[in-house]
Structure 1
Amino acid sequence: MRVYLVRHGKAQRPEEAAGDDVRALVGLGQTQARWLGASIARMIERDGAAAKPVVVSSSPIVRARQTAEIIADELKVTIELSGKLSTACGLTELFEELDYRVRQAHELGGAVMLVGHNPTMEDAGARLLGKTGLSMGTGEALVIELPGDWAGEVGAGRLVAHLVMER
C-alpha cells in the first residue's frame, strides 16, 4: 500500500494574513504543488494504477487545501477535507484518518494521500518509517510503502522517495 504524506506548499507569513487558518499559498507554494503533482503523476505512470491515490485527503486549512487542489487536479482525483489533518490536531487524529483511508484504498485498489502540516506530517513519517529526526520542508512529500496487512505498526514502512523540488 503506497502512502503519500504531503506538507503544504510555501504560504504567506502569519503577519500577511487575517489568521493562521487563512494563510494562502504564495507563488513558490503553488509551484511546489504543481511540481509535486507532476512528480507523483510520473511515479504513477512508472509504478501502475495501485500507486494512484484513491482520494486526496486534506486539512481544511487554506494552504493545505490549495496544495491538495493543485495536486488533485494534476492527478485527476477528488479531494476530501478532514479536520483530523488540521493544525489543531496531532498524531492520534492523523493516524485515525490514515487508517480510514488505508481501508478505503484497499477496497478501491489504490494509494493514500494525506496533505497537512508539521509537526504531524514529519512525526507521522518518522513513526511509519521507525526513524527519528525526520525533516519535511514546505512543499515536500514522503512516499512510503506499507505492507498490505499494515495495522498501525511503528516502523513497518519503507521509504520509496522523499520528493523535494530543487530551487
Structure 2
Amino acid sequence: MDLILWRHADAEPGHEGLADNLRRLTPKGQKQAQKMAYWLDSVLPHNCKILVSPTIRTRETVAALAKLNRQFKIMEELNPEASAEDLLQAAHWPDARESVLLVGHQPTLGEVAARLITPAQSTCAVRKGNVWWITQKERDGEGLRTYLKAIMTPDLVIK
C-alpha cells in the first residue's frame, strides 16, 4: 500500500480576526497546487483514495486535482489539530488495500512521516505544497517493510 502525504500549498498568514480554517491559498500557493496536481495525476494509481482536511487551504490545494477528474472526500479527522494517529486511522494504515493520498497540515504530516520512516525522530519537515510518498513492500521474506518512495516539490514539476 502507498500512503501519500500532500501538505497544503502556500497560504495567507494567520492573523487576529481570521479563523485558521478560513485561510486561503496565496497566488504562489495556487501555482504550487496546480503543478503538484499535474504531477500527481500522472503518477497516482487510478483507484487512489483522496482524503482532505476540511480547511479552505487544503480544499483549494486539492481543487487543482479535482479539475483533473479526481474525486476526493473531506474528512474532519484530518483537521489541523489532528494527531498522527488520527491520520493513520483515517487512511486505515497499514491495512488499507488501496493507495491513500492525505491532504493536510504540518506538523501532523511530518509526524506521520517520521513515525513510518524515521522512528528515532519525532517529526519531519514537510514543506508547503510538497508530497511525501511512503510505500510498504514485501522484502526477501522479511515481511512488510516501509520505505520512502519519493519526495516531490512544486519547483521540480515541469509543466
TM superposition score category, shorter chain reference:
0.7 to 0.9
Alpha-carbon shift at residue 116 of structure 1 (Å): 0.4
Alpha-carbon shift at residue 43 of structure 1 (Å): 2.4
Counterpart CA distance in 1 for 2:30 and 2:101 is 18
Task: Provide the alpha-carbon RMSD of the alignment.
Answer: 2.4
2:78 is the alignment partner of 1:90? no
The structure whose residues are more often helix, as a share, is 1
Instruction: Report SS of the residue matched to 1:146.
Output: strand
Do the aligned partners of 2:107 and 2:125 also contact (CA within 8 Å) in 1? no
- Residues 62-73 of structure 1 aligned to structure 2 (within 5 Å): 62-73=56-67
- Equivalent of 1:114, from 96, 102, 109? 102
- The equivalent of 1:139 in structure 2 is 129
Alpha-carbon shift at residue 100 of structure 1 (Å): 6.9
Alpha-carbon shift at residue 70 of structure 1 (Å): 1.5
Counterpart CA distance in 2 for 1:36 and 1:97 is 22
Gaps of 5+ in 2: 139-143
- The equivalent of 1:152 in structure 2 is none
Counterpart CA distance in 1 for 2:77 and 2:84 is 9
2:152 is the alignment partner of 1:163? yes
Query: Relative to 1, partners in 2 of residues 1:140 and 1:122: Cα closer, same or farther, differing over 3 Å?
Result: same
Query: Relative to 1, partners in 2 of residues 1:116 and 1:53: Cα closer, same or farther, differing over 3 Å?
Result: farther
Counterpart CA distance in 2 for 1:53 and 1:101 is 17
Counterpart CA distance in 2 for 1:17 and 1:63 is 17
Percent identity at matched positions?
23
What is the aligned residue count?
Answer: 149
Instruction: Report SS of the residue matched to 2:137.
Output: coil
Scaled by the length of structure 2, the TM-score of the pair is 0.82
Do the aligned partners of 1:146 and 1:156 also contact (CA within 8 Å) in 2? yes
- The equivalent of 2:24 in structure 1 is 24
Do the aligned partners of 1:54 and 1:77 also contact (CA within 8 Å) in 2? no
Scaled by the length of structure 1, the TM-score of the pair is 0.79
